[in-house]
A and B are shown apart, each in its own frame.
Chain A
Amino acid sequence: MIRYVLGRLTSLIISLTIASIVIFAVIEVIPGDPAAFMLGVNARPDTIAALRAEMGLDQPLITRYLDWVTGLLRGDFGQSWTYKTPVADLISDRIWVSLPLAIYALILSTIIAFPAGIYAASRRGGAGDVTIMGATQLGVAIPNFWFAMILVLIFAINLRWFSAGGFPGWDNPFQALKSLTLPAIALALPQAAILARVMRSSLLDMLGEDFIRTARAKGLSRRQALWKHAVRNALIPVLTIIGLQFSFLLAGGIIIEQIFFLPGLGRLIFQSISARDLIVVESVVMLLVFTVIMVNFLVDLAYAAVDPRLRTKA
């Protein structure tokens, strides 16, 4: 077990290192000199050169990469060129919106998907199965931004249950959660549809396995065999999807954040790219990569918790 964790940890560190190099390199090759961009088209070359020196852009690549990485390790993300504030502050403000939103959406999606998937699988071919599968088909097909607008139209404009956008901050947790509810639903439903389908097909695979027949021969009813033997085995592919979905929810909420005027990471990254604020872009992307890799690491640990076969393998 320890070996499994150490193995996963090693691969985590290697992934992070490679990711940091790739992110840095990609940002470097993007056309557009940030200094020239900030000073406008009429700037004199020597002013631009001075600003470049101030921003450290005249240093060799390796030095700048190492500076950036060691900074990251110390929690120093550098200074934003456009906001003139530490990037760390920018991110920490935003992450308190994006992270709860992603977790909220993931919880919603799981709460919807698990029962739906299990129910559909246990009644394969029945009316319940057909209805749920039809609904998930619809859920996969509907774009979440369109669905978000419909939610705003119904619950914010007509029923006035929720505000149409904005985020009041965490001083009042109830209000904060309330303002995240519509975006979370908009994000969660399409994910729930996918997850329910995976849960169903994974369970159906398991129900066809020999050990389910063994369980039935022991005297378990169909339902007992499903809950006691199939569900846990079916979780492995489901966990994979949950891991992927969390990453998507954290980084991919950009359109939803725009629709609901949420000051999240998606908006920050969008604005920073427009402003050529590369240091912010680099850091936010690195943070997202870090989160994705961490989540995958946690998913790997969850696999081992579910499946004893992984614990003994190297």
Chain B
Amino acid sequence: MSLLAIKDLSLSIGDTQILHDIDLTMQAGEIVAITGESGSGKSMTALAIMGLLPHGSAPKGAITLDGIDILATSEPDLCKMRGNTMGMVFQEPMTALNPVQTIGDQVAETILIHEKTSKIEAHKRAAAMLERVGLKVSPTRYPHELSGGQRQRVVIAMAIALRPKLLIADEPTTALDVTTQARILDLLRDLVREFDMGLLLITHDLAVVADVADQIVVMQQGRVVETGQTHDLFANMRHPYTKALFEASSHEVQLPVRTASAQLVYAKHIVREYPMPRQTLLGPRPQFRALDDVSFHINHGERVGLVGESGCGKSTLTRAILGLEDVQGGEITLDGAPVFTGKRPNLAVRRKMQVVFQDPYSSFNPRHRVDRLITEPFHLLKTLPTGQARADAIAKALVDVGLSPADADKYIHEFSGGQRQRIAIARALIIEPELIIFDEAVSALDVSVRAQVLDLIADLCRKRPLAYLFISHDLSVVRTVTDRVLVMQAGKIVEQGETETVFTDPQHPYTQTLIAAAPKLPTLGMAV
């Protein structure tokens, strides 16, 4: 008997059909990955297995877990199964834990609600489980005292405390750094082996899938389009969507060849410190050095990447370059002029720089129309374009990013995530800056949309010499869209050089770790 068998699962919420005839079987000890883009129904499938569908859901078909039909089970019985027969790990470790309870309490709770055991015994087992998942801190800590990776270990400990037969992990590593991701994936793999449980891994990241899964289920718009053993599926993709997904994941763009040029941005010995809370009541405030003697340059028309893990100082560096904050040491200049003068950004320099942020949903004011949104940088100019000149500039910026001039009258909610990111790029382009900072600009996008936006960036480079700083945690993206790359660790640039050279022959141990930790897609047709 298989551990989990989903047969003809359909789901509608209100009038919307979310899932269509899903079929899936998995065995104990097997890792099955469901992959697909947002809206494909992967998470809903997981929630259906947990019996945690949102209000108003009408599932049809059968989900048989360990011989029990989930859809026919009453809520009280489902409560007994959750955490016991099946456990679940979610995407966002930062918010998945109750902030006002210690991690030990939260893990012990799983044991206490399912088993008649003493509190002391439950806490003892919780501590053992926390140790098993590789957490080296005391169970009396609160979630806010832990890093994202540590919190995800706590969530995993909670989910597996009773050794469930099935563990569902919904994008468990998406919010984590690559090196942390690699360690969490290793942990999950070990646990599957040790407990002989089934792991249903839900992820958009094909490289992760290829790395860990035994079986792959590809979903698109609520349907399973292709399924097979990982090896076979990668060797022989049948469905066009699977192929498209694979191609988009390993998408490479053709950047135009860059000609040698003069220096644009020049940063020398940048130091930025933030005061931390006092250790003693009246003692001096210790300083946290977010940027430690950072020096680099970007030439005119040069595409530079910046990689590093969260907290390494990427964002601080962005703010410093934009002149949003002063630095304690060193100087940043653009075209020879300092980016920060006195107590404020140097406007003469500021109008030569624009930035595109990560989240296309929250970086626009929803009450303004697109024309107003993308003309926001105009306030940096000495003379504001008006009338026809303004309309022309708007139309040109929109056309440049592959939208139509008519979109200027629409509101931001009328656009998809990818289109919004195009609008963000249009907003950056409209004053024809010398430098654009892409701050994780494609990280929140689905792979196919990401591929389109990367193509757009390459396309813009062909139209005119565009210099940019491309900040990303995704090494494969940085590799394809940059000429040169800076690797940052703990406020220092530990390595910099031509992108290809750094990726093929990393010199610094940290760069080597990063590159080794990044999951890789198999080369098509290689596996047979």
Let me know if B281 and A210 touch, CB within 8 A.
no
Decide: B144 and A312 in contact? CB cutoff 8 A.
yes
Are A219 and B80 touching (Cβ within 8 A)?
yes
Q: Which of A66-74, A188-196, A224-232, A283-291 contacts the other chain?
A: A224-232
> Are A308 and B100 also in contact (CB < 8 A) when A6-B281, A213-B90, A218-B110 are?
yes
* Contact across chains for A214 and B96 when beta carbons are under 8 A apart: yes
Residues of A within 8 A of B144 (CB): 308-309, 312
B75's partner among A215, A221, A314 (CB-CB below 8 A) is A221
Find chain B residues with CB under 8 A from A312 CB: 144-145
Q: Is B114 an interface residue when CB atoms closer than 8 A count as contact?
A: yes
A14 proximal to B (CB < 8 A): no
* A307 pairs with B99, CB closer than 8 A: yes
Contact of B97 among A3, A211, A217, A232 (CB under 8 A): A211
Question: B81: shortest Cβ distance to chain A, in Å?
Answer: 7
B341 CB-CB contact with A under 8 Å: no
- Structural contact, A218 and B109, CB atoms closer than 8 A: yes
Report Cα–Cα, A279/B452, bound state, in Å: 75
A172 and B347 CA atoms in complex are apart in Å by 75
Q: Is the CB of A219 within 8 A of B84?
A: yes
Provide the A81-125 mask, 1 if CB < 8 A to any CB of B, else 0.
000000000000000000000000000000000000000000000
Q: How far is the CA of A209 from the CA of B159 in the complex (A)?
A: 18
Give every chain B residue within 8 A of A314 (Cβ-Cβ).
277-278
Whether A211 touches B98, Cβ cut-off 8 Å, given contacts A219-B81, A309-B144, is yes
| Beta-carbon contact of B278 and A3 below 8 Å | yes
Judge whether A36 is part of the interface by a CB distance below 8 angstroms.
Answer: no
Q: Name, among A215, A218, A221, A229, the residue most crowded by chain B CB atoms within 10 Å (CB to CB).
A: A218
On whether A313 and B277 interact (CB within 8 A), knowing A213-B52, A216-B52, the answer reads yes
A221 to B83, CA, bound (A): 12
Q: Which of A211, A213, A215, A219 contacts B99 (CB 8 A)?
A: A211
Given contacts A211-B99, A307-B100, A308-B144, contact A218 B90 (CB under 8 A): no
Closest to A216 in B: B52
Closest to B159 in A: A217
- What is the total number of residues of chain B having a CB less than 8 Å from a CB of chain A? 34
Report whether A217 and B88 are in contact in the complex, using a CB–CB cutoff of 8 Å.
yes
Flag if B100 contacts A233 (CB, 8 Å).
yes
Counting residue pairs across A and B whose Cβ atoms lie within 8 Å, the total is 81
Determine if A218 and B158 form an interchain contact, defined as CB atoms under 8 angstroms apart. yes
Contacts of A313 in B (CB 8 A): 277
Interface string of B48-82 (1 = CB under 8 A from A): 00101000000000000000000000011001111
Asked if B513 is an interface residue, CB under 8 A from chain A, the answer is no
Please determine whether A211 and B113 come into contact, CB atoms closer than 8 angstroms: no
Total residues of chain A contacting the partner, CB 8 A? 26
- List the A side residues contacting B87 at CB < 8 Å: 217-218
CB distance from A122 to the nearest CB of B (A): 13
| B81 and chain A: residue at smallest CB distance | A219
Q: Which residue of B lies closest to A212 (CB)?
A: B98
Interface residues of B in 85-108 (CB under 8 A from A): 87-88, 90, 92, 95-101
Centre residue among A209, A211, A216 by max chain B CB count within 10 A: A211
Least CB distance from B327 to A in Å reads: 24
Least CB distance from B56 to A in Å reads 11
Q: Does B155 contact A (CB under 8 A)?
A: yes
A36 CB → nearest B CB, Å: 51
Q: Which residues of B contact A210 (CB under 8 A)?
A: 90, 92, 95-96
| Alpha-carbon distance between A29 and B146 when the two chains are bound, in angstroms | 55
With a CB–CB cut-off of 8 A, which chain B residues contact A232? Answer: 100
* Contact of A228 (CB < 8 Å), options: B80, B84, B109: B109
CB distance from B282 to the nearest CB of A (A): 10
Interface residue? B357 (CB, 8 A): no
Which chain B residues (9-43) contact chain A, with CB distance < 8 Å?
none
* List of A residues within 8 angstroms of B84 by Cβ: 219
Pairwise interchain contact A218-B277, C-beta atoms closer than 8 A: no
A308, B104: Cα distance in complex, Å = 14
Q: C-beta contact mask, A233-247 vs B, less than 8 Å → 1, else 0? A: 100000000000000
Q: Are B95 and A211 in contact (CB under 8 A)?
A: yes
Q: Is B142 an interface residue (CB 8 A)?
A: yes
A21 interface residue per 8 A CB criterion: no
Whole-angstrom distance from the CB of B140 to the nearest CB of chain A?
Answer: 10
Minimum CB–CB distance for B470 against chain A, Å = 30
Shortest Cβ distance from residue A235 to the other chain B in the assembled complex, whole angstroms: 9
Q: Is A298 an interface residue (CB 8 A)?
A: no
Give chain B residues whose Cβ lies under 8 Å from the Cβ of A229: 98, 101
**In B292-311, which residues have CB < 8 Å from any A CB?**
none
Which 3 interchain pairs have the tightest Cβ spacing? A219-B83, A314-B277, A210-B95
A-B contact pairs, 14 of them (CB 8 A): A3-B281, A210-B96, A211-B96, A215-B109, A217-B82, A217-B87, A217-B88, A218-B87, A218-B113, A219-B79, A233-B98, A233-B100, A306-B100, A309-B142
Extra contacts, 14 of them, besides A6-B281, A213-B96 (Cβ < 8 A), are A3-B281, A210-B95, A213-B52, A214-B97, A214-B158, A217-B50, A217-B87, A219-B79, A219-B84, A219-B113, A220-B79, A221-B75, A228-B109, A308-B144
Q: Which residues of B contact A (CB under 8 A)?
A: 50, 52, 75-76, 79-84, 87-88, 90, 92, 95-101, 109-110, 113-114, 142, 144-145, 155, 158-159, 277-278, 281
